[in-house]
Chains A and B, each alone.
Chain A
Amino acid sequence: GAGVSQSPRYKVAKRGQDVALRCDPISGHVSLFWYQQALGQGPEFLTYFQNEAQLDKSGLPSDRFFAERPEGSVSTLKIQRTQQEDSAVYLCASSLRFSSGSENEQFFGPGTRLTVL
């Protein structure tokens, strides 16, 4: 595709509901990242995939957060039993390769704004 897309763009959930956020990375991009951006803050790393393998999930704030990328392309971030503190913008990014060189530029999607009431 032309860029990273995310859906839905906006999600309102009642506290305790489960939500699923989808990310479609740029076609052919090996690496995929999820970040959480709270209001007035910079994005914070949640988790990282290389193809279908989840290599780093150190940023997931609790065991209510779960991410998958079963076929190495589309990824889903799932939040179970949502809490008010989960309200944030969830950003997805992809990069061409797993590399520390110039090919590691991350391209970001527009984000999903989650509001938990």
Chain B
Amino acid sequence: AQSVTQLDSQVPVFEEAPVELRCNYSSSVSVYLFWYVQYPNQGLQLLLKYLSGSTLVKGINGFEAEFNKSQTSFHLRKPSVHISDTAEYFCAVNKLTGGGNKLTFGTGTQLKVEL
């Protein structure tokens, strides 16, 4: 079975500062990795995904993430945040093989951008 750990439940940051949201996963098989963002009272929106190839993945809204197989990590970064980035961020995985592509999510990180 897969599991996802997001160690930081809340991350406060000032506008225009850089931010990193941490995600570690464990799995006995190869996985795909995802970051989703959830704004209040809305569903989840895909930010970016790692399927294969380059370990540095660029997504929407200026976010990027780096897949590190040896450290089983997939941390999300943005060099300069904006007030509108305030939201809940979820890291997720699903299996490459074995049928089905249900997602296993972490508990989320609340990013709060302050002026």
Partners in one complex: yes
- Which range holds the interface residue count of chain B? 20 to 34
Determine whether A95 belongs to the interface, using a CB cutoff of 8 Å to chain B.
Answer: yes
- The minimal Cβ–Cβ distance linking A77 to chain B, given in whole angstroms, is 15
The reply to whether B90 and A42 contact each other, CB–CB distance below 8 Å, is: yes
Residue of B nearest to A41 (CB): B107
- Which range holds the interface residue count of chain A? 20 to 34
Residue of A nearest to B99 (CB): A55
| Other-chain residue from B6, B41, B45, B102 in contact with A33 (beta carbon distance below 8 A) | B102
Q: How far, in whole Å, are A106 and B108 apart by their CA atoms in the complex?
A: 18
Which of A95-117 touch B at CB < 8 Å? 95, 98-102, 104-111
The reply to whether B105 and A102 contact each other, CB–CB distance below 8 Å, is: no
Q: How far, in whole Å, are A107 and B104 apart by their CA atoms in the complex?
A: 15
Residues of A within 8 A of B (CB): 4, 31, 33, 35, 40-45, 48, 55-56, 59, 91, 93, 95, 98-102, 104-111
> Other than the known A42-B4, A42-B107, A102-B51, what 16 A-B pairs have Cβ atoms closer than 8 Å?
A4-B43, A35-B103, A41-B108, A42-B90, A42-B108, A43-B44, A45-B103, A48-B100, A56-B102, A93-B43, A93-B44, A100-B94, A106-B103, A108-B36, A109-B43, A110-B43
